[in-house]
Amino acid sequence: MNESDKSPLTLRPAEPADAAAVAEIWRSGWIDGHLGHVPEELVAVRTPESFVVRAGERVADTTVAVVGGRGVVGFVMVVGDEVEQLYVGAASRGAGVAGALLAHAERLGREAGHERVWLAVASGNARARRFYERQGWVDEGAFDYPAVGPDGPISVPCHRYVKQL
């Protein structure tokens, strides 16, 4: 662990100035967890520019994790009872950032009055699936998630994970 990793972790609402960092973490993490597990049609539309646009549009739904002088190291997007996106930069994985972001998302769901929250994980993303199971989430089974595409939804084979609050 280097010195910058010893700085405290802070979670805060995203600001428009965070969108570029969120987009880069999102793009990199999406590639790590999705290539080979989602339809090629979706891969073709998930360009670097698409992540920049989407991150900018989603600032209001986003909480960022910040570590000292390193800036944004991860983020979570929550809408209603769905944890829509959760990504941590590769250099900060395994340091508790994802767990802190997920616990925050669960709190947001509880504060909004939901009895449970859910999220979708690409069926082949074994690393993410193990993480959610370690965090007490339950796999309710396979389903086709309608990922947003430029010409309408793109069906992605996923598993629906839920957590009672």
pLDDT tens-digit readout, 33-57? 999 999 999 999 999 999 999 999 9
pTM (2 decimals)? 0.92
d(CA 163, CA 48): 32
Size of the chain in residues: 165
Which pLDDT does position 6 carry in this prediction? Answer: 67
Which pLDDT does position 2 carry in this prediction? Answer: 43
Q: Please state the rounded mean pLDDT for residues 11-21.
A: 97
- Which residues are within 8 A (CB) of 119 and not within 5 positions of it... i.e. 6 or more apart? 82, 83, 84, 86, 132, 137, 160, 161
The band of 1, judged by pLDDT with boundaries at 50, 70 and 90, is very low
pLDDT by residue (tens digit) across 60-114? 999 999 998 789 999 999 999 999 999 999 999 989 999 999 999 999 999 999 9
pLDDT by residue (tens digit) across 112-123? 999 999 999 999
d(CA 74, CA 84): 14
